[in-house]
Chain A
Amino acid sequence: MRILDVTWKDISQQIRDKRPLAFLLGAPILFTVLMGVMMGGLGGSSEEDPRLAVGVLDRDGGAAAGSLIALMEKSEAVRPVRVEEKDAQTLEKQVSDGKLAGAVVIPAGYSAAVFDGNAMPLRLLIDDASDAGTNADRAVRAVVFRLQTAVETAIWSANIAAEQSGFASPAERQSFLESTMQAGVREWETAPVMLQLRSAAAKESTQPAIPSGFAQSSPGNMVTFALAGLISAAEILVWERKSGTLRRLLTTSISRMEILIGHFLAMFLMVFLQVIILGTFGQLLFGLTYWQNPAAFLTMATTVTLWIASMGLLIGVMARTSEQVAMFSIVPMLALAGLGGAWMPLEVTGETFQAVGHLTPTYWAMNGMQNLILRGQGLAGVILPAVVLCGFALLFFGIAVWRFHRE
């Protein structure tokens, strides 16, 4: 009962001032939306055609140029955007400004040259320092390979035809070359081998199952701002010590352990509520499946909160001033969030960084949450993260108890 009194006192102190509460819910929601929309660039784009736009300036107008554009239209990675000659001067700027991922200039005489076996290279403009540029480069190379296969096939076939029946005129030969090349381009549409992309969470498709930006920003901000919530919670402990309330409390029959558990419970309830609200928000607004398996989500919410609340307790026990509370909260918040993959997916980082990231509780919190919303896993998928988080919670709680008893 005395534990609950301490808990209730802490909660009522915290909810008295509405501004931090608004911050702890408003800020993560705002940042989830902002970062989610921005990270859409990494995957789940809302655009109708998510393929990279590649400008095509056709100065040739021949059959090979037409086939190249036809192959680009069928590409899964790039889509051709026709550019008129009058806009040729702006091509470089459009690519460097990022309006186009790349631009292909087909030189005049290209179609004639490819059948003569004369190399007449296509000019490809890209910003090689950007991801879009690198991807466009790769995709255009694949398209040109397909075109060259069709061209070479046409040449080999024309040689066979010339041997067997001959051509009445160069024009007939040219017509044969072009029709064979077009047949080759058509054949690529029904290539004998295709990639079938599958994942545990997605149905079979030929399009990659790419997570939306919100699947990263929602759990990322949930964890980051749960850590930020420690500031006001831990400050109560500091204030109690500075004002002498703690000493007065210790003269009563309440034990040190009861005081600590009371504070811990208050932190737990506040952070737990925050995590549940943010998870529900993510489900309702972005369709993230936090609640698909309620037991699994509640397990993750509980263990994430246990870790954060015990860390808050440790900060409250260690800090002597409000400034120290802010420092002890914000510095680990930034470090743990960054290292553990709350700001960006760890897969885009270096090997050493990933190894260090795996040692942080943030990683396990992100991993467990993403097992629910991305990998479509249930209770079994959150057991390991939950156990690791409990381990961190025990460690922090143990150190806090030890420090408080030595005080």
Chain B
Amino acid sequence: MIVLDVAWKDLMHSVRSVFMLVFALGLPLLTAGVFYAAFGGLSSGENGRMIAAPRVMVVNLDSAGQAGTMLADFLIGEELSGVLDAVRESDPAAARAAVDAGEAAVAVILPENFTASLTAAGTGGTVAVEIYQDPALTVGPAIVRSIVGQLLDGFAGVRVSVQASGEALAVRSIPLDPQTAAGIAAQYTEWVQAQMSSGDGQDWLDVQSVSGAKQESMDTIARMISAIMAMMMIFYCFFTGTAAAQSILQEQEAGTLPRMFTTPARRSMILAGKLLAVLVTLLLQLAILLAVSGWAFRIHWGNPVSVVLGVVGTGALSASFAIFVTSFLKDTKQAGMVYGVVVNLVGWVGISRLFVLIIPGLDKYASYTDIVSLISPQGWAAQIWQESMAGNPVWITVTGMLVLSLVLFGIGVFKFNRRFSE
């Protein structure tokens, strides 16, 4: 009964604290919510992120040439309207100025001799299409470069084809007369148009995704938001644990704990009540965060059994870690510093395994972070949620977490007992 009384009193203290509620529930949801909103989760729906179409200024200085007009019309036309927000501009300087002013992401400037350079009868030199981009942007200009690059290849192929043919036929002493060259150019044009109408090289490539069936169902946004929410949940859960366990130090400083020890209640019962309060606070926090994030951000945390095991494992490990860390502290002054530094650092090591999954290009380090993260309790928590969300079994991880919890809890209780029996 004493255990429950002490636990109830501490629990009420925690849930009545607006500060605690904001930190335990508000901040993790706010952070994940910002990313959810950022990547179009609120409006885009199911397929990938909804990046705004980059504003492109198209300047065609080759207005007399067929190729320049075709390319400019295609960039501005309906077909690319969902990908590019392209507008026509006649003055290159004005287009560049618009990019400098941040009004456009890119200016595509087609030179005067664009069409002439593509024909075999032209200068034979190389002509440059200028892509003038805002240096602060990466994605928009990359999209424009890719599209323009592909279109230019389509145009450039005429001359590549005619010149390669001329070179090969010359070896056999067959001259490439204008009529033959025109024939090659016509065949190329016909071939390119056939490819365009049949789809972008569908017969040439058999593209297979290595993502498993389960992963395929999770779109990019969901994977990213899930990883961010899991990171935030774990990070703030361990903070909540330490903040709740700090009540032992606060009561010790206020003198209420030594006074309680003078009552007939056994010391171990009082400590057990405090530990129970920490655990229940954490379980409540986890349950609310899982439910709200699952509903608001459409995160699938895994099957019910895995989720329950994940909650138990994470709750037990954060509570025991909080007791373990707090048992080494003398007073609340030390607590601020140690919680801030230790819990932060250990936390970042632990959630690094999730972090590398959300930053493009960092996933190559996943095999290292998967191992290194397990030196911290947060890493075990991250692992169990990763497994649960991927639909993998969590038994081994939850067993490891409970064993680790027992070890940390045992050390913490031992140290507290020694301190209070002195």
Residues of A within 8 A of B (CB): 19, 23, 38-43, 45, 92, 95-99, 119, 121-133, 137-138, 140-142, 144-146, 148-150, 152-154, 156-157, 160-161, 164-165, 176, 179-180, 183-184, 186-188, 190-202, 208-211, 215, 323-324, 326-327, 330-331, 334-335, 338-339, 343-345, 347-354, 356, 367, 370, 374-377
**When chains A and B are docked, how far (Å) is the Cα of A45 from the Cα of B171?**
45
Which of A149, A164, A192, A202 counts the most B-chain CB atoms under 10 A from its CB? A192
**When chains A and B are docked, how far (Å) is the Cα of A192 from the Cα of B187?**
19
With A160-B169, A188-B160 known as contacts, the answer to whether A198 contacts B132 (CB < 8 A) is yes
With A152-B188, A153-B188, A327-B19 known as contacts, the answer to whether A183 contacts B164 (CB < 8 A) is yes
- Does B127 sit within 8 A of A, measured CB to CB? yes
Q: Which of B3-11, B199-207, B305-313 contacts A (4 or more CB under 8 A)?
A: B199-207
**When chains A and B are docked, how far (Å) is the Cα of A144 from the Cα of B165?**
19
**When chains A and B are docked, how far (Å) is the Cα of A119 from the Cα of B203?**
6
**When chains A and B are docked, how far (Å) is the Cα of A193 from the Cα of B19?**
62
Q: Is the interface of B mostly helix, strand, loop or mixed?
A: helix
| Residue contact A197 to B131, C-beta cutoff 8 Å | yes
With A350-B51, A374-B136 known as contacts, the answer to whether A140 contacts B39 (CB < 8 A) is no
With A124-B207, A193-B126, A331-B27 known as contacts, the answer to whether A157 contacts B165 (CB < 8 A) is yes
Partner of B145, one of A122, A156, A197, A375: A197
Q: Is the interface of A mostly helix, strand, loop or mixed?
A: helix
- Does B193 sit within 8 A of A, measured CB to CB? no
Which of B99, B125, B148, B160 counts the most A-chain CB atoms under 10 A from its CB? B160
Q: Which of B40-48, B246-254, B315-323, B407-415 contacts A (4 or more CB under 8 A)?
A: B40-48
With A184-B161, A353-B37 known as contacts, the answer to whether A149 contacts B188 (CB < 8 A) is yes
Chain A residues in 8 Å Cβ range of B187? 152, 156
**When chains A and B are docked, how far (Å) is the Cα of A181 from the Cα of B18?**
73
Chain B residues in 8 Å Cβ range of A161? 168-169, 172, 174
Closest beta carbon of chain A to B260's beta carbon, Å: 25
Partner of B210, one of A40, A92, A353, A367: A92
Write the chain A residue with the least CB distance to B150.
Answer: A142
- Does B371 sit within 8 A of A, measured CB to CB? no
**When chains A and B are docked, how far (Å) is the Cα of A52 from the Cα of B157?**
25
| Residue contact B126 to A190, C-beta cutoff 8 Å | yes
Apart from the given pairs A145-B195, A176-B168, A201-B135, 5 other A-B contacts in the complex at a CB distance below 8 Å: A43-B138, A123-B208, A187-B159, A195-B131, A211-B136
**Total interface residues on B, using CB and 8 Å?**
108
Partner of B27, one of A131, A330, A345: A330
3 shortest A-B CB distances, which residue pairs? A41-B361, A338-B34, A350-B40
| Residue contact A350 to B145, C-beta cutoff 8 Å | no
| Residue contact A354 to B210, C-beta cutoff 8 Å | no
Closest beta carbon of chain A to B67's beta carbon, Å: 9
Write the chain B residue with the least CB distance to A191.
Answer: B156
Q: Which of B284-292, B362-370, B375-383 contacts A (4 or more CB under 8 A)?
A: B362-370
| Residue contact B360 to A132, C-beta cutoff 8 Å | yes
- Does B129 sit within 8 A of A, measured CB to CB? yes
**When chains A and B are docked, how far (Å) is the Cα of A83 from the Cα of B69?**
44
**When chains A and B are docked, how far (Å) is the Cα of A27 from the Cα of B130?**
41
With A41-B359, A180-B168 known as contacts, the answer to whether A187 contacts B160 (CB < 8 A) is yes
Closest beta carbon of chain A to B141's beta carbon, Å: 7
Partner of A176, one of B160, B172, B209: B172
Partner of A323, one of B18, B124, B172, B219: B18
Write the chain B residue with the least CB distance to A197.
Answer: B131
Chain A residues in 8 Å Cβ range of B218? 129
| Residue contact B210 to A95, C-beta cutoff 8 Å | yes
Listed A/B pairs (17) with beta-carbon separation below 8 Å: A39-B359, A96-B211, A126-B207, A130-B360, A138-B146, A153-B165, A156-B161, A157-B168, A161-B169, A184-B164, A208-B142, A323-B19, A327-B22, A331-B26, A347-B138, A350-B50, A353-B40
| Residue contact B156 to A121, C-beta cutoff 8 Å | no
Chain B residues in 8 Å Cβ range of A138? 146
With A129-B220, A199-B134, A330-B27 known as contacts, the answer to whether A38 contacts B165 (CB < 8 A) is no
Which of B17, B42, B204 counts the most A-chain CB atoms under 10 A from its CB? B204
Write the chain A residue with the least CB distance to B157.
Answer: A149
**When chains A and B are docked, how far (Å) is the Cα of A371 from the Cα of B402?**
52
**When chains A and B are docked, how far (Å) is the Cα of A297 from the Cα of B118?**
47
Residues of B within 8 A of A (CB): 17-19, 22, 26-27, 30-31, 34-35, 37-40, 42-44, 49-52, 54, 96, 99-100, 102, 105, 114, 117-118, 122, 124-142, 145-146, 148-150, 152-153, 155-157, 159-161, 163-165, 167-169, 171-174, 180, 183-184, 187-188, 191, 195, 200-201, 203-211, 215-216, 218-220, 223, 337, 340, 355, 359-364, 366-367
Chain A residues in 8 Å Cβ range of B126? 190-194
| Residue contact B39 to A349, C-beta cutoff 8 Å | yes
Chain B residues in 8 Å Cβ range of A142? 149-150, 153
Which of A124, A129, A133, A144 counts the most B-chain CB atoms under 10 A from its CB? A129
**When chains A and B are docked, how far (Å) is the Cα of A345 from the Cα of B180?**
52
Chain B residues in 8 Å Cβ range of A344? 38
Chain B residues in 8 Å Cβ range of A186? 164
Closest beta carbon of chain A to B40's beta carbon, Å: 4
| Residue contact B168 to A334, C-beta cutoff 8 Å | no
With A145-B153, A193-B126 known as contacts, the answer to whether A152 contacts B191 (CB < 8 A) is yes
Closest beta carbon of chain B to A187's beta carbon, Å: 4
| Residue contact A375 to B128, C-beta cutoff 8 Å | no
Write the chain B residue with the least CB distance to A114.
Answer: B204
**When chains A and B are docked, how far (Å) is the Cα of A92 from the Cα of B208?**
10
**When chains A and B are docked, how far (Å) is the Cα of A117 from the Cα of B337?**
72
| Residue contact B152 to A193, C-beta cutoff 8 Å | yes
**When chains A and B are docked, how far (Å) is the Cα of A166 from the Cα of B371?**
65
| Residue contact B205 to A350, C-beta cutoff 8 Å | no
Chain A residues in 8 Å Cβ range of B201? 141, 144-145, 148
With A124-B205, A130-B363, A350-B50 known as contacts, the answer to whether A141 contacts B200 (CB < 8 A) is yes
Partner of A129, one of B44, B52, B223: B223
**When chains A and B are docked, how far (Å) is the Cα of A211 from the Cα of B122?**
37
Closest beta carbon of chain A to B164's beta carbon, Å: 4
| Residue contact B208 to A348, C-beta cutoff 8 Å | no
| Residue contact A180 to B165, C-beta cutoff 8 Å | yes
Write the chain A residue with the least CB distance to B30.
Answer: A334
Chain B residues in 8 Å Cβ range of A97? 363-364, 366-367
Partner of A200, one of B52, B100, B141, B188: B100
Closest beta carbon of chain B to A385's beta carbon, Å: 10
With A92-B210, A145-B153, A331-B30 known as contacts, the answer to whether A353 contacts B38 (CB < 8 A) is yes
**When chains A and B are docked, how far (Å) is the Cα of A98 from the Cα of B161?**
37
Chain B residues in 8 Å Cβ range of A347? 51-52, 54, 105, 137-140
Which of B31, B130, B209 counts the most A-chain CB atoms under 10 A from its CB? B209
**When chains A and B are docked, how far (Å) is the Cα of A202 from the Cα of B134?**
10
With A191-B156, A349-B38 known as contacts, the answer to whether A126 contacts B210 (CB < 8 A) is yes
Partner of A195, one of B96, B145, B362: B145
| Residue contact A193 to B168, C-beta cutoff 8 Å | no
| Residue contact B133 to A195, C-beta cutoff 8 Å | no
Closest beta carbon of chain A to B20's beta carbon, Å: 9
